[in-house]
Amino acid sequence: MRTWSHIIVSTLLYVFLMISTPCYADNMDDGNDNAASGNLNAARDLNIRGWMRLSRQNPEVINIYLEITNEGKDAFLITGIRSTSCPSIYGVNFDQDDTEQAAEMFTHFTIPRKMTLVFPRGGYHFICRGFRPENGAPRQVTLDFSFLTGGKKHVVLNMNDKGF
């Protein structure tokens, strides 16, 4: 008799769960409908500062270190970084194995909302290979960040062996 009661209770519970109203998790939307309207503004919400230094072994290679602060309510997905001074820009971490995933990291990297990320010396950072100084500014590089939302951000970095 006890087995039948377990079967009946289990069946009733299953039926109840199947016909009950579905529940959905809150998406934590703070009343900001920017994502729906496509009006995300990376230029306004992101503060990117950084510095760079020449490689000691090769003057056509520079190391680029960044601090990226997202002060907005939305996350931003970096889809590319370009520069007229750097024909090849890729990610690297000298403390880790050199992998394709590390090299491509900054082409699909998310900057979370209300957060600061630091890419320091000795950690993940950029390499610019084939460095050609810009017109009249041999110690500066302009980086053009592009984002999944279509936004863009232009950042000018200076040579500085000491860092921030």
Do the beta carbons of residue 45 and residue 155 sit within 8 Å? no
Q: Which long-range contacts (CB under 8 A, 24 or more apart) does 106-112 make?
A: 106/78, 106/81, 107/78, 107/79, 107/80, 107/81, 108/77, 108/78, 108/79, 109/77, 109/78, 110/75, 110/76, 110/77, 110/78, 111/46, 111/68, 111/70, 111/75, 111/76, 111/77, 111/78, 112/70, 112/75
- The dotted CATH code for 44-158 is 2.60.40.1890
- Domain extents for the chain? 44-158
pLDDT single digits (tens) 113-158: 999 999 888 888 889 999 887 776 678 889 999 999 888 899 999 8
pLDDT single digits (tens) 45-87: 999 999 999 888 888 899 999 999 999 999 999 999 999 999 9
Is the pLDDT assigned to residue 96 strictly greater than 70? no
Average pLDDT score over residue span 92-97: 72
DSSP state of 22: P
Q: Which residue has the tokens 């998790």?
A: 25
Assigned token pair, 133: 């100084």
